[in-house]
Amino acid sequence: MRLDCNGKFLDLSRPQVMGVLNITPDSFSDGGDFFDPQRALDRALQMQDEGAAVIDVGGESTRPGAGPVSVSDELQRVVPVIDALQAQLTVPISIDTRKPEVMQAAVAAGAGLINDVNALRAPGALEAARASAVPVCLMHMHGDPRTMQADPHYADVVAEVKAFLLQRVAACEAAGIGRQRLLLDPGFGFGKTVEHNLQLLARLEELAATGLPVVVGLSRKSMIGKLLGLDIAGRLPASIALAVLAVERGARLVRAHDVAATWQALQMQAALQRVQQVETAQRQ
């Protein structure tokens, strides 16, 4: 699958890495690190060199408990960075936003993919995404960032997340956004307990069976800290393990802070998969 992202292409015929670039003062992992436009540009170019197939730019933190950012503040954060990046990057730029105004401005500045944790549920978001003509990633989130971790409950988290995402796919299609433009993200850590996250990962094939590309964001997540007692700085090895496990279960795009390490791990997984495919073909 090859997605046209505003004139730059994202090849999802094999698993790829999405590099995270937060232009925020308060994101859980790298808040404040790339608030300066030049540092953001340098980091984006570094991630591209490390193997990122797309750079995901966000101007509003969606960590648990985070408050909203105004449209004007978010625009001031992301548009100058995207404008600078689009001229120097060869890979597509993704805009991580819930706001239709930001979607429109970001795409006009050069972004080629909309990554919406709210799955285009904000008023005007469906219309903005349709008009943009770029691919869209629809994510599941229970509640909103301020409340999503307040005792989330599901009867069957995998079935409910899948049903929600397919409902949003139907809403997109009804609004004129073709299925071929859509990606799905189960939203690890967005209104889920550790057990919910593990169930989603264990049964990720059920989401991949929809035929739509699956995006996962497991990098440095709090579930690692809760399971292993690690702070954010110590979560890289577990993040790499989760990335490989997700790809083995059907993920096509892995959102990561540590691009080089994640890309290298996925190359090793791909090499092993090629050998297995050859051996399987020879036995038939």
* Nearest alpha-carbon partner for 216 in 246, 182, 181: 246
Residues 6+ apart with CB under 8 A from 175: 126, 127, 129, 130
Q: Give the span between the Cα atoms of 73 and 68, in whole angstroms.
A: 10
Q: Please say if 252 is a catalytic residue.
A: no
Q: Give the span between the Cα atoms of 229 and 76, in whole angstroms.
A: 37
Long-range contacts of residues 273-281, Cβ cutoff 8 Å, at least 24 apart? none
Q: Give the span between the Cα atoms of 77 and 243, in whole angstroms.
A: 29
- Residue of 43, 192, 221, 249 marked catalytic: 221
* Nearest alpha-carbon partner for 62 in 190, 185, 149, 184: 190
φ, ψ for residue 197, nearest 5 deg: -60, -40
- Residue of 43, 98, 252, 255 marked catalytic: 255
Q: Please say if 221 is a catalytic residue.
A: yes
Active site residues: 221, 255
